[in-house]
Homo-oligomer: A and B are copies of this chain.
Amino acid sequence: MPKSVIIKEVGPRDGLQNESAVVPTEDKVELIRRLSDSGLKHIEVSSFVNPKWIPALADASDVFAQIERKDGVLYSALVPNERGLERALTANVDAVNIFMSASESHNRKNINKSIEDTFPVLSPVVKSAKNQGLPVRGYVSTVFGCPYEGKVNIESVLNVSHRLLEMGIDELSLGDTIGVAVPSQVTEVIEKLTTEIPREKIALHFHATYGTAMANIWAGLNSGISIFDAAVGGLGGCPYAPGASGNVATEDVLYMLHRMGIETGVDESKILDTAAWLEKVIGRNVASNMRAVQRGAS
């Protein structure tokens, strides 16, 4: 069981790209300022995917140009290909996050390529980013279930993970894209992966769709994982389940970790205040439990 945990905040990217409200650039900049001020050391700021596909994050360059960068905080961005990397480098990102899926159908729908054909697209991105001295993280989507295929073969997760690591990425983030994972599955996947992959290179990324995210994090902790993705206010949703919850909420994860005596270096109350502020920005109540308690008390 790790004594301390790194939270990687994905709200501004994975959260906002799935919100129906389009958030103005200046509010995104303010969101990043607030998150930077909370003690978080890793913030995924935006995405350099073609704005045609994700209009909500079309202002990625502007956001990077306008944010105030705090010492010791890594401001990363999602990058799909060399074209996106160029824009990301121009925007002076601190770290690059690439992505693909463990299931063939989701990879095709999301990236418009087979899994096999995706590697040659990502490989030069990793190489160039590493040449620029930037850390690279690889998201593997649909690790615990696929909206098109259902169950995902662990062999496919292993294959994609290995190939990404061979390219030179520094960290894998195993994503439960549709929020279907259960804790026994988390234990099983981690045990299989860590026979060949160092535990410290693995992060876990859970969505709250079916309410199992916190249990999955607890299972991950018990398997020695110490890096978890989360989004302030539980931002985002699930494109395959309209109305469902989004990412696991940063403030809820902090509650559980801190109360178990696990350090994060993040100020729970600042994240909670940011969640409250976000409600005015996105025009709806956020889905976190901490915020529901806070709303009731005020």
Q: A243-B295, A296-B244 are in contact. Are A208 and B289 (CB under 8 A)?
A: yes
Please name the residue on chain B nearest to A249 by beta carbon: B211
Q: Digitize A199-238: 1 where CB-to-B-CB distance is under 8 Å, 0 elsewhere.
A: 0000000001111101101110000000000000000000
Residues from chain B with Cβ under 8 Å of A293 in the complex: 209-210, 241, 243-244
Which residues of A281-296 have CB atoms within 8 Å of chain B's CB atoms?
288-290, 292-293, 295-296
Q: Which stretch in A64-72, A94-102, A120-128, A181-189 binds the other chain?
A: A181-189
User: How many A residues touch the partner, as a band?
Assistant: 35 or more
* Min C-beta distance of A86 to chain B, whole Å: 37
- Min distance, Cβ A102 to any Cβ of chain B, angstroms: 18
A256: interface (CB < 8 Å): yes
Residues of B within 8 A of A141 (CB): none
Q: What 1/0 flags go to A102-120 for Cβ under 8 Å of B?
A: 0000000000000000000
Number of copies: 2
Interface centre among A1, A210, A297 (most CB of B within 10 A): A210
Closest to A222 in B: B222
Q: Is A245 an interface residue (CB 8 A)?
A: yes
Question: B residues within 8 A CB of A280?
Answer: none
The verdict on A252 contacting chain B, using a C-beta distance below 8 Å, is yes
Residues of B within 8 A of A296 (CB): 241-244
Task: List 7 A–B pairs whose Cβ atoms lie within 8 Å, in order of A's numbering.
Answer: A1-B184, A182-B255, A183-B215, A211-B252, A212-B255, A241-B296, A243-B293
Q: Which residues of A contact B (CB under 8 A)?
A: 1, 180, 182-185, 208-212, 214-215, 217-219, 241-245, 249, 252, 255-256, 259-261, 288-290, 292-293, 295-297
Which 7 pairs, one residue from A and one from B, show the smallest C-beta to C-beta distance? A243-B296, A211-B289, A242-B296, A215-B215, A214-B215, A215-B218, A211-B252
